[in-house]
Structure 1
């Protein structure tokens, strides 16, 4: 179970973070491919990760999904194991993205320094989002705590409700093969419809694990990891997952 969640979440972040890196980092062949590429890239990342992890753990890959299933089934004993695997996997996946795009991170940060110096403007405030943080974790376009929190709650509510209503695998602990495909398209839909305000974390592990990786990895002039915002993509998705499980219990059982 732990191994399945670790491997699956690492693949999720490797491919999901990888498409963001491909689009935003300088000298990438996919540079400036746009939001649609990112949304579909994350959808395919979910599908691939679920197919890989489902035989081992049921492929939750998301603490909000784990919470929703636990509320639905009343099975809490395995929750810490799932969460540990998800956060470790997310961290490892982010490190793999950094390795794959090592030169592009360097080029992007170097260009950012040159632009900053040419315009004679101060760099990002200490602790605020650095120029490559978006590859690792999410951040809002407009900083409004309640709007940002509400967006994450709503997006995750849709995701977890879709997971619960489409039916779980035969063991009842996660998604089956058809569920992987359906969930992938749900993630694409959420990204296209609700991703604009915050970047749609909809997964606490997906955001916090890579944010920690950003803070620890040796990237000169990488800027801050925006810890003042970091609680929103953790609390919001957990609240959204709990609300989805609550509605499922009221409406579908």
Structure 2
């Protein structure tokens, strides 16, 4: 029981750090009158890569550092993770994302007051498409998360992964690569907790002029990553078993 509690604490803290730093860079770039306003897409993708890296570092000595329901589900599907822990892990990940959203709201409160565009406000919590096109948006999330889970499994095939901290660096790198190469269509959720947890907080927090939480789109950054994560893990696992 103690071991399970430590793992859940790791998932909570890791996801908390991931969202705090990831949505923190988005807030700095899109909210008005910050020192980073207008810094652009490259700043956001680099910030998110470092955010995931730090989240994995924080969680990695306590848990497998999934920090993402799509990764947790994918690892269970290929037999690399216990099904009994799937729901507790997902709950911990969502709670970490939601608490981080509250902290960011408090930190950036005066900048939310200065920001009048509801889309910019929502963008500091959750993702949204550059062009709303359901099939393409869903494919974007599926493909991006396929690359993520396939990459995580592929990293594990190299001896370098035995070095402490290497996994965090590589996962941060793959998040940056996905963001720069594939993420500009939808904002690359890749993670249901990353999107839905903060979106729920956007709906609940008393932000002036925030508009709605775009629930008609909200299923895409949840279902897409779950499908993509599973496909990426299953396909790469088949390749690994074949070459062995």
How far residue 55 of structure 1 moved from its aligned partner, in angstroms, is 1.1
State the distance in 2 between where 1:210 and 1:154 align: 22
Name structure 1 gaps, 5 residues minimum: 113-128, 169-174
Partner of 1:64: 70
State the distance in 2 between where 1:190 and 1:131 align: 22
Count of residues paired in the alignment: 230
- Does the alignment pair 1:80 with 2:80? no
State the distance in 2 between where 1:28 and 1:60 align: 32
How far residue 29 of structure 1 moved from its aligned partner, in angstroms, is 0.2
SS in 2 for 1:78: helix
Could you give the per-residue CA deviations for residues 75-107 of structure 1, whole angstroms, max 9, x where no partner exists? 311111110101111111111111111111111
State the distance in 1 between where 2:171 and 2:210 align: 33
State the distance in 1 between where 2:86 and 2:170 align: 24
Partner of 2:23: 17
Partner of 1:191: 179
TM-score using structure 1 length: 0.88
TM-score using structure 2 length: 0.91
In the superposition, relative to structure 1, how do residues 200 and 176 fare at CA in structure 2: closer, same or farther (>3 Å)?
A: farther
Partner of 1:224: 212
How far residue 210 of structure 1 moved from its aligned partner, in angstroms, is 0.3
State the distance in 1 between where 2:107 and 2:120 align: 18
Partner of 1:125: none
Partner of 1:164: 153
* 1:10-159 paired onto structure 2 within 5 Å: 10-73=16-79, 75-109=82-116, 112=117, 130-159=119-148
State the distance in 2 between where 1:2 and 1:81 align: 7
Could you give the per-residue CA deviations for residues 49-86 of structure 1, whole angstroms, max 9, x where no partner exists? 11001111121000111111111226311111110101
State the distance in 2 between where 1:176 and 1:88 align: 27
How far residue 130 of structure 1 moved from its aligned partner, in angstroms, is 4.0
In the superposition, relative to structure 1, how do residues 233 and 10 fare at CA in structure 2: closer, same or farther (>3 Å)?
A: same
